[in-house]
Structure 1
Amino acid sequence: MKEINITQNEENQRLDKFLFKYFNTAPKSFVYKMLRKKRIKHNGKKAEGSEIIKAGDSLQMYLSDETMGAFMEEKAVAKAERHFGIVYEDDNIIIVSKPAGLLVHPEKAGEKDTLIDQVLYYLSQKGQYCPSKESSFTPAVCNRLDRNTGGIVIAGKNLRSVQELNRIIAERKLKKYYVTMVRGEFEEEKELFGYHIKDGVSNSVKVLKKEVPGAKKVYTKVRPLCVKDKFSFLEIDLITGKSHQIRAHLKSMGYGVVGDRKYGDERINRIFREKYGLNNQFLFALSVAFEEEGGPLGYLYGRRFTADLPDIFEAIKRDYFGSFDLDVDREGF
């Protein structure tokens, strides 16, 4: 019999979910069978799997070493050179600035050097993540950006922080601000509503004015920061977070994002590609603001974290709009 003591970094999750991660190559049917046959017990008693485990709990495994070893694959951290910037870091979370062109997670088997690979290697080098000592937890990224959109991404370093970040995001208590440059003069602050529908074949979306079957309602706030010579520099308060929402919503209003190969104007894109080497959309996740007062991350309440605009975006902004501060007052926005 092997006994496992639950630590603070493993508590507040269902027992079955912990076991799925502990026996990371086992089918779910194996876990439930072992629970049903009392080969796995929780605090010495029969368990169903739905129990919420707490620090100080113990699990009794009446399994042979061979059986356990067959369903446990040792985790390892691959070396991955860091290409992200660090915006903020403490013992619970790390806020990074992802460069455009970098995947957050692998999309295909075998893809390496993604953002999560780089974060895990960075944390392992700091001694804040050791896979051989973590039976069921891996630090995780809690928000995502498209490959060709750069900017702020947040990861939790421990289970409680990951759970809390996921909750805060789901309850919209984390404000996410983007900046973008569009063709057209967007002169007034607006709240945009629409219906988002995705075409899985072309991996593109449309935002419609009227509801159609399968469409999801989306909400985007847009604030012009500078408008000049048929171009606008906009700040976006992303309320809902659907795929390609900002780009498609602005396109539906007649404002193509500069550099956007999927929804933008190819003639305009060519000008910026030839003059500045811009090969992706001018869209950047600039900042996040925490609006959750309590809980494990309550110490971040009222704080806003802002990433540096990439050099190429800064050069375009300066040439087209002159110099102005992006760290603007957002009261009422």
Structure 2
Amino acid sequence: MSIEEPSAAVKVTHVEITEEQSEQRLDNFLIARLKGVPKSHIYRIVRKGEVRVNKGRVDVKYRLAVGDIVRVPPVRVAERTEESYVSQGLKEALELGILFEDDAFMVINKPAGFAVHGGSGVSSGVIEGLRLIRPEARFLELVHRLDKDTSGCLIIAKKRSALRLLHEQFRDDRIQKTYLALLSGQWAKKQQVVNAPLLKNISQGGERMVVISPSGKTAETLFKRLQVYKAATLVEASPKTGRTHQIRVHAASLGHPIIGDDRYGFEDANKLFRQKGYKRMFLHAKTLKFQHPVSQAMLSISAPLPKQLDDLLKHEEPL
């Protein structure tokens, strides 16, 4: 139930949380409701106590429950439409990139170069674009994330119940993920399991980095060689866990970082490929295998390799 004035951003709104809205974090609820409002502003109004749940102050991490009454204060947003900050290129890529869809969720072929959500200096991302092209959808939420420069399979939940069940599969490492990656240099081995714990760190420049450390979280990736080229090696990477930057850091630990990775890669190798007109990181989420959250059927969904990556391989000299 929602009790609000005709002008949604002018007066206080009190929203009663339904089953469909329950169990999500307060910040995610507000981000979805106050479309176009910067995340930093949402955090500020929660911190100042302008947003209340059951008349009391709560943290942005508070998980909403059925029957909670959320006080949403008046928020003035600069006059701009969603079309003005979700690019036409992203909208077109999303409309053409749906790999699977039913009433519970969809899987899209995420384009490289776009963040999965807005924030941290990014005005909008994949989820904002999807909400724009599907204005009738009552619920659209990311089930997991891919790096901005990674393309491929990305799951979007269309129901709260599906989101919860898919989250459980990811938490329990029951979703099989297969990526294609092009590594720098000629990798001599046919396959190798990298079992190295990963720790999130911050570099001196303020850039988020992940390092291998005994104090980090367990992380395991299986690499299989598919094709060796003159200056690179195409591999299949299967992460058994889902840590931030896992494949990128584990590939670098082999001495063969991913081509185009400007954070963990070799600058000389990246420069060589840029001179060929190739400007992105070669990491593509090819296949996801998991259990359907409703029917329990096992699904295997694959995303075709983007044309730029496919063209690059066709022009590389195989050994």
Band the TM-score falls in, shorter-chain normalisation: 0.7 to 0.9
Aligned pairs (5 A) from 1:120-131: 120-124=131-135, 127-129=136-138
1:280 matches 2:280: yes
Measure, in 2, the Cα distance between the counterparts of 1:280 and 1:241: 22
| Distance in 1 (alpha carbons) for counterparts of 2:68 and 2:266 | 62
For the residue of structure 1 that corresponds to 2:308, the secondary structure is: helix
Q: Which amino acid aligns with 1:115?
A: V
Structure 2 unpaired stretches of 5+: 4-13, 35-41
Task: Give, in whole Å, the separation in 1 of the partners of 2:311 and 2:234.
Answer: 13
2:304 equivalent to 1:308: yes
User: 1:237: how far off?
Assistant: 0.8
- CA drift of 1:280 comes to 2.1
Matched, 1:93 2:105: yes
Q: How does 1:236-251 map to 2 (within 5 A)?
A: 236-251=237-252
1:284 CA drift (Å): 0.8
CA shift for structure 1 position 141: 0.7
* SS of equivalent to 1:106: coil
1:29 and 1:6 mapped to 2: Cα distance? 14
Give how far 1:321 is off: 6.5
- Read off the aligned partner of 1:191 and give its amino acid letter: V
Structure 1 residue 222: Cα displacement: 1.0
User: Quick check: 1:233 aligned with 2:242?
Assistant: no
- Alpha-carbon offset, residue 289 of structure 1: 0.7
Q: Counterpart of 1:197 in structure 2: which amino acid? A: L
Q: State the percentage of identical aligned residues.
A: 22
Pairing 1:104-143 to 2, within 5 Å after superposition: 104-108=116-120, 111-124=122-135, 127-129=136-138, 138-143=139-144
Q: Describe the superposition over 1:41-60 as per-residue Cα deviations: whole angstroms up to 9, x where unpaired.
A: xxxxxxxx99964xxxxx59
1:266 aligns with 267
Give the counterpart letter for 1:203 in structure 2.
R
Query: Which secondary structure state, in structure 1, belongs to the residue aligned with residue 148 of structure 2?
Result: coil
Distance 2:170 2:76 in 1: 31
- What CA distance in whole angstroms lies between the structure 2 residues aligned with 1:176 and 1:188? 19
What is the aligned residue count?
275
Mapped contact 1:139–1:162 kept (Cα < 8 A):
no
Q: Name the counterpart of 2:190.
A: 188
Max Rg structure: 1
Question: How big is each residue's C-alpha offset from its partner over 1:240-275, in whole Å with a ceiling of 9 and x where there is no partner?
Answer: 222221111111111121122222222221221111
Secondary structure at 1:279 match in 2? coil
- 1:158/1:225 CA distance change after superposition, 3 Å: same
1:320 matched residue in structure 2: 316
**How many angstroms does 1:315 deviate by?**
1.3
Instruction: Give how far 1:31 is off.
Output: 2.4
* Secondary structure of residue in 2 paired with 1:217: coil
Question: How far apart are residue 156 of structure 1 and its match?
Answer: 0.6
Match of 1:78 in 2: 82
User: RMSD in angstroms over aligned alpha carbons?
Assistant: 3.6
Cα 1:122/1:77, change in 2 over 3 Å: farther
Change (3 A) 1:165 1:271: same
Structure 1: gaps of 5 or more residues: 36-48, 54-58, 62-67, 130-137, 323-333
In structure 2, C-alpha distance between the alignment counterparts of 1:234 and 1:163, rounded to whole Å: 32
| Residue matched to 1:170 | 171
Q: Secondary structure at the match of 1:161?
A: helix
| Aligned equivalents of 2:159, 2:123: Cα separation in 1 | 23
In 1, Cα distance between the equivalents of 2:15 and 2:263?
51
Contact 1:226 1:321 in 2 (8 A): no
**Secondary structure, counterpart of 1:317 in structure 2:** helix
Contact 1:152/1:286 (8 A) holds in 2? yes
Distance 2:101 2:117 in 1: 20
CA–CA distance in structure 2, aligned partners of residues 8 and 200 of structure 1: 39
C-alpha separation between the residues in 1 aligned to 2:208 and 2:68? 47
Q: Retained in 1: the 8 A contact 2:51–2:73?
A: no
* 1:236 Cα deviation after fit: 0.8
In structure 1, what is the Cα distance between the partners aligned to 2:262 and 2:178?
Answer: 22
Given that 1:139 and 1:158 are in contact with CA atoms closer than 8 Å, whether structure 2 keeps it comes out as yes
What is the Cα deviation at residue 78 of structure 1? 2.3
Q: Distance between the aligned counterparts of 1:117 and 1:285, measured in 2?
A: 21
